[in-house]
A and B are shown apart, each in its own frame.
Chain A
């Protein structure tokens, strides 16, 4: 097949398929210039290379056992976390913080230097077209690469040092460490160790109570929503009785809390009486997640 109709050979050996000698290019010396020392890829060489592979594999496994992959707390847009990319992007991240690579000069940072650096790396064979292969005989290419390596090492180190410093200054502990400590604490107490957001629905207690109508009438509904789940800023009132008793709820209605303004007068002008507000607070205090 594929060797002409006259081929009588049962097995056609393709053999080595190196490029043919051309003119103008220094062909590397033929492998057969080292008789007896070159060897077949399979199985001779691959078995030896597999030895190196095994060492690497054992290395990875040791790493996975001694240093479990980190996991922090679930993503939360309002958390205060110092953003940090994976380590191999640190040099770029740090570079784009430099005065002439950020702010008004951001285009120079993202497209200018970075684009030229990665572009010339991509097209290196077409920029460095000399025949010489030894790095010390191509001073321009080699020195540019050494310079880039030095810059990468410096920027990576600076980024990491600054991150560590910022963490220490703000007193933050990496979240993966926090999560593991919290899980260990909870494990010791026999509590669930998960940090995942629990999405179990908390039911409204005594939904048919007249206070539900008061809740709507007193305009609580406009922030805490008709289903009492709140949303965005205002918290859910389902299960509010777990953390607040009747007096605390009354105090919040009268004085407000955080973003919430005092609502007592609003409720009064909406037609509620002192009695109504009292029973509304009592009903809210009964909102417990566990019956």
Chain B
């Protein structure tokens, strides 16, 4: 039954090569911790993606309860944290995952840097990777405000002051992010939109580019 359905689709769309390319590509010995334990450093990229998936899934569940307005944001997070079944776990995963994804991404970047894997022909993938790093930092920055507690509020005020100090672009950037003259209702909705729609969309596009380039170029050879 499944085979017939699969064959019917495959005859029309030729999907077999797509997944066989992903499934059958070789993982060389020098990146496989099963052969050389020190090769665990090559796991950090995969773990970054794994935690990113956790972030996306836990974030999707968080938006079921979160209300992005200044009157209800805190109350909704507190409700989620203290009343909803497993809410504390899901929020905890998103909170700690946000830190861990930075850690993993940092370790991955260091691995790529110190093994010189960014050298020709993989320059473009390094640039895309760094852009992913910056988007991740942006996600961390915008997500920090969303609980709308004092820590979030005052940290964001300072952040926007720093953005403001950049010459020429600064004040524009600040007003764009702040959505007015004070950190308030507009700021919260803007940060929410950035955190939930804009930045994840950019992140997914960059990730697709990152992975396609890895498949095109293969993983860098042993030193």
- Report A's interface with B, CB cutoff 8 A: 1-2, 11-19, 22, 25, 27-29, 31, 34, 37-45, 48-49, 52-53, 56-57, 60-61, 63-65, 67-77, 79, 81-89, 93, 96, 106-107, 109-111, 118, 121-126, 128-135, 138, 141-142, 145, 175-176, 183, 193-197, 199
Contact = CB atoms under 8 A, between A and B. Distances in A.
B35 interface: yes
Interface in B9-50: 12-14, 16-17, 20-30, 32-35, 40, 43, 46-47, 50
A14 B74 contact: no
B147 interface: yes
Contact of A41 (B12, B25, B140, B150): B25
Interface in B136-188: 137, 140-141, 144, 147-155, 157-159, 162, 165-167, 170
Contact residue range for chain B? 35 or more
Q: Which 7 A-B pairs have the closest CB atoms?
A: A28-B221, A64-B92, A133-B116, A125-B123, A69-B95, A75-B153, A196-B75
B116 A60 contact: no
A28 B23 contact: no
Contacts of A86: 98-99, 140-141, 144, 155
Most chain A CB within 10 A, of B89, B91, B150, is at: B150
Q: Which DSSP category, helix, strand, loop or mixed, fits chain A's interface?
A: loop
B97 A38 contact: no
A72 B24 contact: no
A83 B144 CA distance: 12
Given A75-B70, A193-B82, A122 B127 contact: yes
A63 B150 contact: no
Interface of B: 12-14, 16-17, 20-30, 32-35, 40, 43, 46-47, 50-51, 54, 70-71, 74-75, 77-78, 81-82, 88-89, 91-100, 102, 110, 113-123, 126-127, 130-131, 134, 137, 140-141, 144, 147-155, 157-159, 162, 165-167, 170, 215-218, 220-223
B150 A12 contact: no
Contacts of B97: 60
A15 B21 CA distance: 6
18 contacts: A16-B26, A17-B218, A28-B218, A38-B32, A39-B26, A42-B22, A53-B47, A53-B50, A60-B96, A64-B93, A81-B154, A85-B144, A85-B159, A88-B102, A123-B127, A134-B116, A145-B114, A193-B82
Q: Which DSSP category, helix, strand, loop or mixed, fits chain B's interface?
A: helix
B91 A69 contact: yes
Contacts of A121: 130
B92 to A, nearest CB: 3
Most chain B CB within 10 A, of A15, A70, A72, A193, is at: A72
B7 to A, nearest CB: 9
Contact of A125 (B16, B118, B134, B220): B118
